């Protein structure tokens, strides 16, 4: 079946009551024709010093209508995204996007309710194109702070030189690196025109920059 708004909303309400004790606030649901993901939860961070995210707000769930899935698999997509929503809304610290906290909740739901939620959304072979020519190009700045914390900024292309100058002269930042990436992982970040950084787990950084192209100068490569 293809996702519809009534089906996704009904699934969210049922699973919120059944699996999450009804604690999750209603969330806007957006249907999209994206072919790079089945589901995604997006939200905006509340920033403190140096733009570091201290809380999350403005949540929304995006579900793709480009895939024809069995009903139970589509429900598992919704549950997968609800786990992300629960972790972010509760402010639970996790080691990565699908870290220990995510996996613990996922395994508990699978065992208790006979679900088949997985780390990676399953798709029917051949549905997702091997090459997606519509994939966005991202210019990613990785900043390393004195305390070892690493953050990312997905820069608006026209602001790369200004952002590079700012980060390079910031006394709390000891290293600045730039990459060009087409990994859909970076779709979740806004294209920043001002110095905003987002903390990222080391394993996520390594995974999603694996195929990125590094460039040294603060101009478009």
pLDDT in tens, 190-212: 888 899 899 988 888 888 898 88
Residue with tokens 């699996």: 19
How many CB atoms lie under 10 A from the CB of residue 167?
A: 24
In which residue are the tokens 């895939």 written?
67
Beta bridge mates, 42 = 60
Identify the pLDDT of residue 93.
83
Indicate the SS3 state at residue 16: helix
Dump pLDDT digits (tens) for 55-91. Answer: 788 899 999 998 888 899 999 999 999 999 999 889 8
So what's the pLDDT on residue 74? 93
Question: What's the full length of the chain, in residues?
Answer: 221
- What does the pLDDT read at residue 121? 61
Which of 149, 70, 147 minimizes the C-alpha distance to 115?
70
Rounded Cα–Cα distance for residues 216 and 221 (Å): 9
Residue 185: the pLDDT is 85
Q: Across the strands, what pairs with 142?
A: 152, 177
Q: Cα dihedral sign for 201, 204, 199, 64?
A: negative
Looking at residue 13, what is its pLDDT? 96
Threshold 0.75, pTM exceeds: no
């Amino acid at each position: 079946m293809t996702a519809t708004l009534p089906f996704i909303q009904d699934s969210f309400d049922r699973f919120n009551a059944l699996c999450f004790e009804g604690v999750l606030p209603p969330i806007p649901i957006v249907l999209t024709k994206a072919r790079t993901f089945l589901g995604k939860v997006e939200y905006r961070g509340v920033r403190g010093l140096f733009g570091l995210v201290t809380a999350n707000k403005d949540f929304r769930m995006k579900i793709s209508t480009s895939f024809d899935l069995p009903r139970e698999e589509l429900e598992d997509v919704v549950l997968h995204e609800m786990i992300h929503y629960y972790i972010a809304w509760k402010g639970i610290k996790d080691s990565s996007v699908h870290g220990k906290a995510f996996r613990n909740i996922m395994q508990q739901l699978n065992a208790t309710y006979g679900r088949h939620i997985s780390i990676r959304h399953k798709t029917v072979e051949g549905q997702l194109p091997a090459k997606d020519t519509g994939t966005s190009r991202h210019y990613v700045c990785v900043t390393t702070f004195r305390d070892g914390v690493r953050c990312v900024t997905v820069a608006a292309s026209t602001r790369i030189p200004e952002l590079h100058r700012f980060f390079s002269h910031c006394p709390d930042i000891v290293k600045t690196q730039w990459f060009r990436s087409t990994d859909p992982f970076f779709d979740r970040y806004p294209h920043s025109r001002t110095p905003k950084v987002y903390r990222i787990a080391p394993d996520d950084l390594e995974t999603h920059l694996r195929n990125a192209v590094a460039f040294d100068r603060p101009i478009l490569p």
